[in-house]
Amino acid sequence: MNEDSSTRHDLVGGPFAVIESDPGVFTTLLHKLGIRGLEVTELYSVEPFATDHLNPYGLIFCYLCEDSPGAQDDTTISDDLEDPDARAIWFANQLSDDACSSQAILNVLLNCKGVDIGSELREFAADTEKMSPVMRGLAISNSSHIRQAQNSLARPADIRGAYHTLAATTLDAAKASAKAASSPPTKKRKTSASATSRAKRKATSTERLEAYHFIGYVPAHGRVWELDGLRAAGPLDVGEIQSDSKDPDSRAGWMEIVRPALQRRMQTVLEGGSGEGHIQYNLLAIVDDAYLGVSDDLELLKRERAALERRLDENFPAGWADKVDPALLAAATEAFATTLRPSAREPGRVFAADFGSRKMSKELAVLDMAARSLAPAWENCVRAALSAKVAVEDEVAKSQSAQADNLKRTFDYEPFIREFITSLQNEGLLEDALKGPSPAGNGEPATPSKKSKTRKK
């Protein structure tokens, strides 16, 4: 029986492949998980000028950490007691390697109100509502929907590496179990504390690996929470939100609370990493999808233009083209058209829930407008449309660029490279290609120099 390649490795609790900490990748991951109306953008500063206009739903901090026996974050050692206030927070422990990206997104967005997380995640949240953080982590590991969404954005080499790691770990565990079952128990020899400490330090230094980890920050129930899937004690209370809003789920003012915590963590990463002067972290913010906002702005202007032109036709039956700027009149043909919606007059899809009320307010204002004000209002409408069109096209170009990068990232180049090298060998050209041209230019192949091997981190 022939098996489809997509189901051949459909294991329960199969591996998660690592994905890049890139805004375009994370935005695509949101969409593949079924989340609508949001996107991910990168923050280069946590100061108010860089964050206040975004009003993020949550933050995801990615940093390079040391994955070694005994390696633990200093910020989580001090208090392992359960916080009673954290019981209302949806939080899952991370049980699968490289699942921390999806884990961070879920830990953040399942605590946000007014977000369209899609039917799959709504059902997942309902099923796991009464579970412990460990069981929620197990539910994430066993969710084919979440696993497939993340793995669809990974490089093919990373997916193969995830399966290889899973197979190697399973074989090592089987060998260890077989060895323990076959060999008789040995009497342990007493060792001094210093010798044990030296042995542990030696093991740690030889087994230390570098890996990236994701931590979420979210405002919920009037407080700011740090959600680290590797923290056994659960959510960490960062502080209470001081806001004038009576809504306990309001996001107003929460960046003032999380900013010092982020700055401390960034400083800890810079001081504790191997670094070599490089910044080994980045900060992602989950925000409203900018395209939806600017697209609605242009659609509102399109409807305002139609209302204004109806009034102009009524007040100037002989024509009103001579009463407006000729340059704007010529530009109006293209000002309301975009790449995705080439029709300048046909109404397009809208996204905001309050779009209807805003449209009605605009139309009522046009109806109450004096005749002498119609032409200037039309000109202002066209000018605003030109600016809105630029914003829409920028968002479309950003999405197209992210999609192109995703196709390049997930395309499997290995079969082509293997076939190309095989063809070179069959044609007798591989050896000459490996030798390369002579440095002296005399046509003789150069002797390849020995290079030291380096391990890619």
Tokens 């949240």 map to which residue? 125
DSSP letters along 395-434, please?
HHHHHHHHHHHHHHHHS--HHHHHHHHHHHHHTT-HHHHH
Say what the pTM is.
Answer: 0.80
Cα maximum dimension of the chain = 107
Instruction: Tell me the pLDDT tens digit for each residue of 97-124.
Output: 788 899 999 999 999 988 999 999 999 9
pLDDT of 18 strictly over 60: yes
CB 338 within 8 A of CB 391: no
Q: How confident is the model at residue 247 (pLDDT cuts 50, 70, 90)?
A: low
Please enumerate in sequence order all residues whose Cβ is within 8 A of that of 264, keeping only pairs 6 or more positions apart, or say none: 75
d(CA 41, CA 357): 29
Q: Give mean pLDDT, residues 451-456.
A: 40
pLDDT of 196 strictly over 80: no
So what's the pLDDT on residue 252? 80
Task: Sketch the domain layout of the chain as residue ranges.
Answer: 23-68+82-163+209-288, 291-408
d(CA 378, CA 369): 12
End-to-end CA distance of the chain: 40
81 HSE (CA, 13 A, CB side): 5
Query: Quick one: CATH architecture of 23-68+82-163+209-288?
Result: 3-Layer(aba) Sandwich (3.40)
Q: Give mean pLDDT, residues 36-48.
A: 93
CB burial of residue 220 (10 Å; 0-12, 13-18, 19+):
buried
Q: List active site positions.
A: 100, 213
Lowest pLDDT segment from 12-26, 276-290, 431-445: 431-445
Crossing angle between the packed helical segments 144-151 and 23-33, to the nearest 10 degrees = 150
